[in-house]
Chains A and B, each alone.
Chain A
Amino acid sequence: MKKGKFSILEHELVPKHEILEEREAAALLDKYKLQKEQLPKIKKSDPVIKEIKAEVGDVVRITRRSRTAGKSLSYRLVIE
């Protein structure tokens, strides 16, 4: 990282993004009976995706703070 810049992952408004392992992703798709294409998408060019170095086809788990539930999980498929 260049000097003087900070990682956007540390910004309080950026929710936590994690790349799922193959096994976890498969479990997720099985749990919701989903095709990979039915997941919400996120572009590879998304600043957070670039930062965590996710590849096309990866599934990321996003953990957000939620007004209604305290914490909420969602998953996105990385696309071109």
Chain B
Amino acid sequence: MRAKRIKGIKFGLLSSKEIRKMSASRIITPDTYGEDGFPIERGLVNQHIGVIDPGLRCKTCGGRMGECPGHFGHIDLEAPVIHVGYAKLIHRILTATCRKCSRVVLGEEDRKRFLEEIKRQKERQADVGEVVKQVFREAAKSSVCMYCSEPQNLIKYDKPTTYIEIDEGGKERRLMPTDVRERLERIPDEDVFLFGMDPENARPEWMVLTVLPVPPVTARPSITLESGQRSEDDLTHKLVDIIRINQRFMENRDAGAPQLIIEDLWELLQYHVNTYFDNEIPGVPPARHRSGRPLKTISQRLKGKEGRFRGSLSGKRVNFSARTVISPDPDIEIDEVGVPEEVAKELTITVNVTERNLDVMRETLKRGKKHPGVNYVRRVDGRKIKVTESNYEALAEELDIGWRVERHIQDGDIVLFNRQPSLHRLSIMAHYVRVMPGRTFRLNPAVCPPYNADYDGDEMNLHVLQTEEARAEAKILMEVQRNIISPRFGRPIIGGIHDYITGVFLLTRGEKRFEKEKVLDILYKIDIEDLGEYGGTFESPVRSEVSGMGFEEVRLSRYWTGKQIFSMILPKQLNLQFRGKMCARCIERGEGCKKENCSREAYIVIKEGNLLCGVIDERAIGSFKGIIIDKIFRQYREEVAKVFINNVSRLAINYIKQTGFSFGISDEDLPREGKELIREEAVHEAEKKVDELIRAYEGGELETLPGRTLEETLELLIMQELAHARDDSGIIAERYLSIENPGVLMAKSGARGSMLNLTQMAACVGQQSVRGERIKRGYQGRTLPHFKPDDRSADAHGFVRSSFKDGLSPTEYFFHAIGGREALVDTAVRTSQSGYFQRRLINALQDLEVKYDGTVRETKGIVVQFKYGDDSVDPSKGEYGKVVDIDEVIREAIGVESRS
């Protein structure tokens, strides 16, 4: 068949004439295959409307199976039926038109006004829906036709496809499809425009079917079961029903059967045509298969997530892709992905054999299907040969220039890696393959944040690029290291998480000293040229070898500090000063920053690539913050930044692995005196104050806050007081939990968790709330039968004074479950809502483009913004919202240390 080019798409209704014109065969028998096993002439699977049997030829176009695209047939309906999809519109048109002359019952003036308005909207390519709605509303108002003076009756619409006319006397008369069609036929062309329809493409009467198009068999192929039995498509089953009823209708009518029987059959025909179009009409029993399964008819094929649009057109399944669970590997680079060998042997890249790669490809082919091997070869003549255990050696001999080889992916191949939901562009990035044993994809944990991935069973997809253009484009635009800076907020989104931060924090805190062997143990996975200046020497006892007498001798050995070890992975010229996460907001509190002398080591100074003071924490190397990563990226670009993050991974993990780090239930313990203090000073104190507030309220002494009722005031004050109770217990608990406590260490360094989490575990869980208020629902006047009615005290309304470690009382436990449920429901609702919103936003914005003149335009060239973002700055390329950070440039030029 000749390839054709689509010039345009016209939307409209098919007229009976058109249906007949495009039909290749009038279908009259419900049978499909004859006893000889061949399709029956004029049957539902006849050879004029397409072939699905190998060996047969199409009687319309002469094509074989696969060549013939199929052709429509038609069924002549013995009685017209309503098209369900338009039933509602038909009702509105019937209501808007005269029952006798079929003109739209609108005054000449209104008519003109509406017609003009519609014409104008169409010229502007705007929606005519609103005007049309008005037309129907206005036309339904008149009770008498202004053209033929016929009084108008009310028309009742009975779902799905019945219309009943009610006259002034209240007498009901059913409008049969023939009546409906007659009325619609009489509507003059000029009036059709008023419904927003174009009579050229969609006459109203075409919504009442007299001929039914029969889709080509290629659209409803039958399948042959293992038993050799044929099983027809659901659509074919439905068409069989329609033809049967159609025939019975004709026979009964010709035999002069009573009106009642005719009408019943007519109704049945309508039912079958309805369910043929849509088998999920509300109020209509769905047509079922013999097995009881509802049939999947036209509408069901198109609708919904798995339908033709969302399932087959917008969401196609693709070749050259793989999906499996992800797991962490801090030893691979951030731009790598560990691929299981099993997967690597299934995914291929097509290589054109040239004189330059002939030898390499031959070597590859000689390995057959063993890992970096070949699955298929295509010879110069275009024949594709599967590589097997028995033919690979011969093929390797025969291999020549011009062949195409489908080789396995191997280390260094570029692939796309993706995790759903793909909410931003960083959800798909380019990684380099690293084939590994095991069955999971391996991913460096530093790259989890952009994917929003964790390792609790998350799966990810991998796509192998098939052309040089795609590979080049992926390399330039999508490599992980080129996306370290987020286009959303202009700061690194890739960086240390969890143990990376803990590890580096432990290493750089204080002045830890390591002798050479230890230093090498920590650094052995990192590519460093020399250890540099050592920090000093310390005395260490050494058993004397010479004497052999076992007396000890003291020797001086060199040491390096943790800060020096960290400095080894910093670029040599890096200068940077900033305050880390440990800073207690000294400046805001008016104390002034002590800088280098900060007792918390919160002031970080890096000079010429040496960490002079300060402890490295989340603010320095973490994702989303990562000041050091940010600085390195901007100063040295992506490759150096990548190497730095790789080295941080290895350094941190190697160090924490050697020192050990754990958090257990006993780390939530507080000494007895601490617990006492919390109970007395924080909880009791607050409960006392709450009781005072309640007494003041009951005594009428409580002063209302502006804009609140007395009750609201009381609630507000109680909430405040109880919030205090938790904060105070947290502060007391903190006194007993030093930074040596692993929980505190993780919270303070930003590795995981917060001080609030620790407070709740060790000291006091605090007030539970529903919609920001204390818990008040339950029984009349009380939350639980454990309390007296109208008890306003703290524990009767969800204050949990226990800590998680101590355990909650039954009532506390219940209140906590209430609060927890709200949080759960909220997140569930929020994600679905924001997901839908995101879909719509992306749909609306996907075609916008920044043009070379700096404007943002849509497809028709209509300007959306005259200057992208008002300032033409890409946040991931500029410096904190500016094109350049001019102060920084000057500081650099005159040699002053950067940003403090």
Contact = CB atoms under 8 A, between A and B. Distances in A.
Interface of A: 32-35, 37-40, 66-69, 72-75, 80
Interface string B848-871: 000001010100111111110111
A69 B860 CA distance: 27
Contacts of B873: 68
A75 B881 contact: no
A40 B862 contact: yes
B866 A73 contact: yes
A72 B863 contact: no
A39 B858 CA distance: 11
Contacts of B865: 74
B863 A40 contact: yes
Interface string B712-735: 000000000000000000000000
Given A32-B853, A32-B855, A69 B864 contact: no
Given A68-B869, A75-B866, 11 more contacts: A32-B855, A33-B853, A35-B861, A37-B862, A38-B863, A39-B863, A67-B870, A68-B870, A72-B866, A72-B871, A74-B866
Contacts, number: 42
Contacts of A35: 861
A1 to B, nearest CB: 32
A34 B863 CA distance: 9
A37 B863 CA distance: 10
Contacts of B866: 32, 72-75
A38 B860 CA distance: 8
A25 B863 CA distance: 15
Of B866, B869, B871, most A-chain CB atoms within 10 Å: B866
Contacts of B867: 69, 72-73
B871 A66 contact: yes
A66 B862 CA distance: 22
A33 B853 CA distance: 10
Contacts of B855: 32
A72 B862 contact: no
Contacts of B862: 37-40
A71 B855 CA distance: 16
Interface secondary structure of B, over-half rule: loop
Contacts of A74: 865-866
Contacts of A37: 862
A27 to B, nearest CB: 14
A51 to B, nearest CB: 23
A62 B658 CA distance: 64
A66 B857 CA distance: 20
Contacts of B870: 66-69, 72
24 contacts: A32-B853, A32-B866, A34-B861, A34-B863, A38-B860, A38-B861, A39-B863, A40-B863, A66-B870, A66-B871, A68-B869, A68-B870, A68-B871, A68-B873, A68-B881, A69-B867, A69-B870, A69-B871, A72-B866, A72-B870, A73-B867, A74-B865, A75-B866, A80-B120
Interface in B261-298: none
Nearest to B875: A68
Contacts of A67: 870
Q: Nearest 8 A-B pairs (CB), nearest first? A: A69-B871, A69-B870, A72-B870, A66-B870, A68-B871, A38-B862, A68-B870, A38-B861
A67 B867 CA distance: 13
Which of B120, B857, B861 has the largest number of chain A CB atoms within 10 A? Answer: B861
B490 to A, nearest CB: 12
A28 to B, nearest CB: 9
A38 B873 CA distance: 24
Contacts of B857: 38
Interface of B: 120, 853, 855, 857, 860-867, 869-871, 873, 881
Contacts of A32: 853, 855, 863, 866
Contacts of B860: 38
B745 to A, nearest CB: 39
Contacts of A40: 862-864
Contacts of A38: 857, 860-863
A3 to B, nearest CB: 33
Contacts of A75: 863, 866
Contacts of B853: 32-33
A35 B863 CA distance: 10
Nearest to B872: A69
A74 B865 CA distance: 7
B688 to A, nearest CB: 48
Contacts of A73: 866-867
Nearest to A74: B866
B93 to A, nearest CB: 29
A5 B458 CA distance: 62
Contacts of A68: 869-871, 873, 881
Contacts of A69: 867, 869-871
Contacts of A80: 120
Most buried by A among B863, B864, B870, B873: B870
A38 B120 CA distance: 18
A80 B862 CA distance: 18
A25 to B, nearest CB: 14
A35 B861 CA distance: 9
B89 to A, nearest CB: 29
A46 B873 CA distance: 31
A39 to B, nearest CB: 6
Which of A37, A40, A67, A68: most chain B Cβ within 10 A? A68
Contacts of B120: 80
A5 to B, nearest CB: 30
A74 B853 CA distance: 14
A75 B855 CA distance: 12
A69 to B, nearest CB: 4
B491 to A, nearest CB: 16
A73 B120 CA distance: 30
Nearest to B878: A68
B699 to A, nearest CB: 47
Contacts of A39: 862-863
Nearest to A66: B870
A34 B858 CA distance: 13
A37 B853 CA distance: 18
A77 to B, nearest CB: 10
A35 B855 CA distance: 14
A50 B474 CA distance: 52
B878 to A, nearest CB: 10
Nearest to A62: B866
Contacts of B881: 68
B631 to A, nearest CB: 23
Nearest to B865: A74
A44 B242 CA distance: 56
A59 B120 CA distance: 21
B862 to A, nearest CB: 5
B767 to A, nearest CB: 37
A71 to B, nearest CB: 8
A18 to B, nearest CB: 15
A59 to B, nearest CB: 12
B117 to A, nearest CB: 11
Contacts of A33: 853
A32 B867 CA distance: 11
A35 B862 CA distance: 9
Nearest to B851: A32
A37 B860 CA distance: 10
A54 to B, nearest CB: 18
